[in-house]
């Protein structure tokens, strides 16, 4: 893994060489800093502006691939012309084409059974809450004292260990539960890339272990992967210190792909006029 900002220069160079670019962003911890409650993780207007500019740019496509439900992440970003994936890849919106991993009756029964078990245990763990999703759910324990969180973690692992059809990842003080067979962020990356030119270069940005499949799919397609913060998967090729630092890099990327090129064109026009 390489620290530093040279990934911006690499993406810029490939763009100038004529390659289409697909910028694929995780949401929480990547486009926004991690905050005390997911509802408070609002996209800043400068970041929304950068994404809008990039999505509007010729030969640049943008996707937001989140662990949140698809409708939730779409509402948080509020931009047209962007590919969206929710439930960590199990639901996708390919600019108007919606696809969802089909939950079987057996998996649905397992999800309902474990949710009933967990809800029965919740009164013993104040501050723990469950976020249902169309495919799976997330159990949040952010803000719960460390000692309680540790005991809850043991309880949760004991419960989910008995459900062979389900898997969980511990992400940002939350357990993300999905069916073992469900589409993941790697599936979402492949579905998005299938809509784009074959020589597109994916660039994937993520901060958590559920971004690993998305990163591996991007690397398999000849792309770049950028870890945000120190909890990101170790398979990433480059690392940015934090979501706050990434906002600076995103601004630089926008400058490189859009403004600087416009300046070149403007400069060419000035030279033409001078002649
Ligand atoms: Mg994240």
Structural domains in the chain, sorted by start: 2-101+183-271 (3.40.50.1000), 105-179 (3.30.70.1020)
- Give yes or no for residue 149 having a pLDDT over 50: yes
Name the nearest CA neighbour of 73 among 41, 106, 102. Answer: 41
Angle between helical axes of 146-160 and 105-121 (0-180°, round to 10): 150
Lowest mean pLDDT among 121-125, 206-210, 256-260, 262-266: 262-266
Query: What pLDDT is attached to residue 208?
Result: 95
- Range of 145-154, 217-226, 261-270 with top mean pLDDT: 217-226
Query: What pLDDT is attached to residue 84?
Result: 98
For residue 60, report the distance from its CA to the centre of ligand 1, in Å: 22
* CA–CA separation, 125 and 207 (whole Å): 27
For residue 12, report the distance from its CA to the centre of ligand 1, in Å: 25
- Report how far apart, in Å, the C-alpha atoms of 215 and of each of 39, 83, 199, 218 are: 26, 17, 18, 5
* CA–CA separation, 259 and 265 (whole Å): 10
For residue 63, report the distance from its CA to the centre of ligand 1, in Å: 14
* CA–CA separation, 195 and 63 (whole Å): 12
For residue 180, report the distance from its CA to the centre of ligand 1, in Å: 20
- By the 8 A CB rule, do 206 and 228 touch? yes
Do β-strands 224-228 and 201-206 pair in parallel, antiparallel, or remain unpaired?
A: parallel
Query: What pLDDT is attached to residue 254?
Result: 93
For residue 177, report the distance from its CA to the centre of ligand 1, in Å: 15
In this structure, what DSSP letter does residue 141 have? -
* CA–CA separation, 192 and 194 (whole Å): 5
- Give yes or no for residue 267 having a pLDDT over 70: no
For residue 158, report the distance from its CA to the centre of ligand 1, in Å: 25
Helix-then-strand count for the chain, H and E:
9, 13
Q: How confident is the model at residue 123 (pLDDT cuts 50, 70, 90)?
A: confident
Q: What's the rounded mean pLDDT across residues 33-60? A: 94
Rounded to the nearest integer, the mean pLDDT of the chain is: 91
- Give yes or no for residue 273 having a pLDDT over 60: no
For residue 88, report the distance from its CA to the centre of ligand 1, in Å: 10
For residue 210, report the distance from its CA to the centre of ligand 1, in Å: 8
For residue 77, report the distance from its CA to the centre of ligand 1, in Å: 14
Query: With the C-alpha atoms ordered 64, 67, 71, 73, is the resulting torsion angle positive or negative?
Result: negative
Query: What pLDDT is attached to residue 173?
Result: 87
For residue 83, report the distance from its CA to the centre of ligand 1, in Å: 17
Lowest mean pLDDT among 18-27, 58-67, 137-146, 198-207: 137-146
Q: How confident is the model at residue 245 (pLDDT cuts 50, 70, 90)?
A: very high
For residue 185, report the distance from its CA to the centre of ligand 1, in Å: 11
* CA–CA separation, 220 and 103 (whole Å): 27
Query: What pLDDT is attached to residue 4?
Result: 56
Name the nearest CA neighbour of 43 among 94, 100, 84, 8. Answer: 84
154 SS3 class: helix
Q: What's the rounded mean pLDDT across residues 65-81? A: 97
Do β-strands 21-25 and 60-65 pair in parallel, antiparallel, or remain unpaired?
A: parallel
For residue 99, report the distance from its CA to the centre of ligand 1, in Å: 22
- Give yes or no for residue 237 having a pLDDT over 60: yes
Q: Which residues surround ligand 1, an ion (CB under 5 A)?
A: 26, 28-29, 207-208
Query: What pLDDT is attached to residue 31?
Result: 97
* CA–CA separation, 161 and 143 (whole Å): 25
For residue 86, report the distance from its CA to the centre of ligand 1, in Å: 12
What is the C-alpha R_g of the chain?
20
Q: How confident is the model at residue 266 (pLDDT cuts 50, 70, 90)?
A: very low
Tokens of residue 253, six digits:
């990327």
Q: What's the rounded mean pLDDT across residues 134-155? A: 91
For residue 66, report the distance from its CA to the centre of ligand 1, in Å: 7
For residue 26, report the distance from its CA to the centre of ligand 1, in Å: 5
For residue 116, report the distance from its CA to the centre of ligand 1, in Å: 27
For residue 274, report the distance from its CA to the centre of ligand 1, in Å: 50
Query: What pLDDT is attached to residue 261?
Result: 54
Do β-strands 166-170 and 174-179 pair in parallel, antiparallel, or remain unpaired?
A: antiparallel
For residue 241, report the distance from its CA to the centre of ligand 1, in Å: 14
Query: What pLDDT is attached to residue 155?
Result: 94
């Amino acid at each position: 893994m390489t620290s530093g900002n040279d990934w911006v220069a690499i993406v810029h160079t490939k763009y100038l060489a004529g390659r289409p670019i697909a910028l694929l962003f995780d949401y929480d911890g990547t486009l926004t800093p991690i905050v005390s409650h997911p509802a408070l993780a609002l996209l800043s207007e400068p970041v929304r502006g950068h994404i809008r500019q990039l999505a509007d740019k010729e030969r640049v496509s943008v996707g937001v691939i989140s662990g949140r439900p698809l409708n939730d992440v779409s509402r948080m970003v509020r931009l047209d012309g962007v590919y969206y994936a929710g439930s960590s890849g199990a639901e996708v919106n390919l600019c108007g084409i919606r696809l969802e991993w089909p939950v079987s009756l057996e998996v649905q029964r397992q999800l309902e059974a474990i949710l009933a078990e967990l809800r029965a245990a919740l009164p013993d763990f104040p501050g723990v809450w469950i976020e249902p999703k169309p495919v799976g759910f997330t159990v949040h324990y952010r803000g719960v004292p460390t000692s309680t969180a540790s005991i809850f973690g043991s309880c949760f692992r004991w419960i989910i260990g008995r459900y062979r059809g389900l898997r969980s990842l511990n992400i940002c003080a939350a357990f993300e539960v999905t069916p073992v067979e469900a589409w993941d962020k790697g599936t979402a990356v492949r579905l998005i890339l299938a809509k784009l030119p074959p020589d597109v270069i994916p660039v994937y940005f993520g901060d958590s272990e559920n971004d690993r499949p998305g990163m591996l799919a991007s690397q398999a397609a000849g792309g770049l992967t950028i870890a945000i913060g120190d909890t990101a998967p170790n398979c990433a090729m480059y690392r940015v210190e934090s979501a706050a630092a990434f906002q600076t890099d995103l601004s630089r990327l926008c400058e490189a792909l859009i403004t600087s090129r416009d300046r070149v064109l403007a400069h060419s026009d000035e030279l033409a006029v001078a002649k």
